[in-house]
Amino acid sequence: MSSHDYNRYRVDVTGGQLSVGVWEPMAAEPGRVPTVCVIHGITSNHLFFAGLVSALPGVRIIGPDLRGRADSRLLPGPYGMAVHAADVRAAVDAFAPEGPVTLVGHSMGGFVAMTVAGTAADAESSAEAARRFRGPVLIDGGLPLPVADAHGDPLDDLNDEELDTDDLIAAVLGPAAERLAMSFASVEEYLAFFAAHPAFVDGLDTVATESFVYDLAAKDDHSFQPSTSIEAMQSDSADMYAGQDYVQALETVMGDERRQAEVTFLFAERDLVAAEPGLYPPELVADYTARWPEMSVIDVPGTNHYDILLTETGLEACAEAVTGRIGSGEDSAVD
């Protein structure tokens, strides 16, 4: 039996309408219903969180497709963390206007979630921002990432004006970026591509399969291509590293000990191609733990950047982290 009733809606945002999936709990405790907003990664979509939804019975989940992706792929730029944050807030305002809403971001979605949390604090009083948003819960994303140059040497200054966007994308995202330029003759061919991907050596489960199928966009020649706009990916990749909106939001949230204590960071053992170390090497995580001691840090061993939201181990850790940030139903829920 399904734990949630799922529907998809459209919400007015700058430039058009944002596609938003909403999972309403089939059974909930009397009174108000706790609400979570899940924010996906740079080439993903909201359906990648379906496994986490099943692990959160009694919770309403709001899942936007970020502009330039999936069913929001026709929304125009500009892109970037501040624009996505504004879109996410529009989705939250549409389905949970009173708040509070627990923010959950995977990969780039973590950067968006942090931007939502930080810009909300700038736009509203600190108390109002804390009432409206919980977290964020960051799943293998949302904290500054290390970037290497073509020789594998770390780049110390991510705000360097000479930092080439194409090199940045290649260094961090690699095959994920290449995939966007590919065409596939059929849905089955696209799924076969992922079945051969090192991050999915154990096979594609229902959640991954449905998310990948939903991701495909039909072309005029009856072939298919991934829905994510290459322009969106390029703009967002550069903005994650060199944009000031995210940096300022990070400083706002992490510079306040009480708000820092609301942040949970989960990191995978392996990266996008299931290689070690993960996107966040242990030494970098140790540095962040020392820098932000109030933040909760959770190592999720045996997972990679993708299956942290697909495997039993990953989902259990993520669900526990989200539940912990939701708080009591009476205190943190919305009608």
Would you list the domain boundaries of the chain?
4-144+228-327
Question: Is the pLDDT assigned to residue 125 strictly greater than 70?
Answer: no
Question: Is the pLDDT assigned to residue 156 strictly greater than 90?
Answer: no
What the block records as the tokens of 6 is 């799922």
Peptide bond into 100 cis (omega under 30): yes
pLDDT bracket for residue 193 (50, 70, 90): very high
**What is the share, in percent, of the chain residues with pLDDT greater than 90?**
74
Q: What mean pLDDT do residues 180-188 have?
A: 93
Answer for the pair 167, 262: CB distance below 8 angstroms, yes or no: no
**Burial class, 181, CB count within 10 angstroms (exposed 0-12 / middle 13-18 / buried 19+):** exposed
Please state which of the four CATH numbers 3.40.190.170, 3.40.50.1820, 3.30.70.1450, 3.40.50.10420 is assigned to the domain occupying 4-144+228-327: 3.40.50.1820
Give one word for 139, left, alpha or beta, with left for phi > 0 and alpha for psi -120 to 50: beta
Question: Is the pLDDT assigned to residue 96 strictly greater than 50?
Answer: yes
Question: Is the pLDDT assigned to residue 333 strictly greater than 50?
Answer: no
pLDDT of 234:
87
Question: Is the pLDDT assigned to residue 248 strictly greater than 90?
Answer: yes
pLDDT of 161:
44
> What is residue 238's three-state secondary structure?
helix
Question: Is the pLDDT assigned to residue 334 strictly greater than 80?
Answer: no
Output 173 or 228, whichever has higher pLDDT: 228
Question: Is the pLDDT assigned to residue 58 strictly greater than 50?
Answer: yes
pLDDT bracket for residue 170 (50, 70, 90): low
Question: Is the pLDDT assigned to residue 332 strictly greater than 70?
Answer: no
Q: What mean pLDDT do residues 204-214 have?
A: 96
Q: What is d(CA 142, CA 144) in angstroms, rounded to the nearest whole number?
A: 7
Mean of the per-residue pLDDT values of the chain: 88
Q: What mean pLDDT do residues 30-54 have?
A: 93
pLDDT bracket for residue 122 (50, 70, 90): low
Question: Is the pLDDT assigned to residue 126 strictly greater than 90?
Answer: no
